[in-house]
Amino acid sequence: MRTLYQILLTCSVLFGMIACENETKICDQTLRSDFHVRFQRDSARRVGDTILHNVRDTIMPKVTVYAIDNGVNKDSIYKIKPLKEIFLPFSPVADSSIFFLRVDSTLTPDTLKFKYSRTKKFISPGCGFGTTFFLDTVITTQHTIDSVVINSKAVTSSNDTHLTLFFFNQ
């Protein structure tokens, strides 16, 4: 009888450990929120005294993007790919990030500088902490970029379009 109680006690302790183990090891959420940038062109044309605007999504033929650290191209994010949008990773340890952007191999590249604030957010015991960003300022060169529209300053998900870049018509 005593061995039966010992076996039942051992089994119950073992089942209790198995039941608690999944709560701390499984992470079913993404910890990373990339900054989503969309490309557009405005084909403005004059008809008489009226200017007609035709804003459309644009696939750039040879997009190359590098992260820049201390004036040096550090990491290649995209290399000569046809894209209509890009996803940029912000630094979780700095308050700004700089990127090199060339949308076509024959055009002059632009530089994008983002200033933001960071907040650590506890997600779960299995996931740990994630970083959310709040965009403050966007500074760009204007070689191929005509203008910038900030769609959403809070970077909590990669599903939202955070920035729209409008390009000159070449």
Q: Residue 96 CA to chain centroid, in angstroms? A: 14
* 112 in a structural domain: yes
* 92 in a structural domain: yes
* 16 in a structural domain: no
Query: Tell me, what's the pLDDT at 38?
Result: 93
* 107 in a structural domain: yes
* 119 in a structural domain: yes
Between CA 119 and CA 121 the distance in angstroms is 6
Query: Tell me, what's the pLDDT at 138?
Result: 95
What's the pLDDT tens digit per position in 44-79?
Answer: 655 667 666 666 678 888 999 999 887 677 778 889
Query: Tell me, what's the pLDDT at 33?
Result: 79
What's the pLDDT tens digit per position in 16-30?
Answer: 666 555 555 677 666
pLDDT tier at 130 (50, 70, 90 boundaries)? Answer: confident
* 5 in a structural domain: no
Number of domains present in the structure of the chain? 1
Residue, of 17 and 140, whose pLDDT is higher: 140
List beta partners, residue 144.
Answer: none
* 134 in a structural domain: yes
* 86 in a structural domain: yes
* CB environment 39-66: b (16+ within 10 A), e (fewer): bbbeeeeeeeeeeeeeeeebebebbbbb
Mean pLDDT across the chain, nearest whole number? 82
Query: Tell me, what's the pLDDT at 106?
Result: 85
Q: Among 78, 108, 76, 90, which Cα is nearest to 163's?
A: 90
Domain of 97?
30-167
What's the pLDDT tens digit per position in 85-123?
Answer: 999 999 888 999 999 999 988 889 999 999 999 998 887
Residue 136 clears pLDDT 90, i.e. is over it: yes
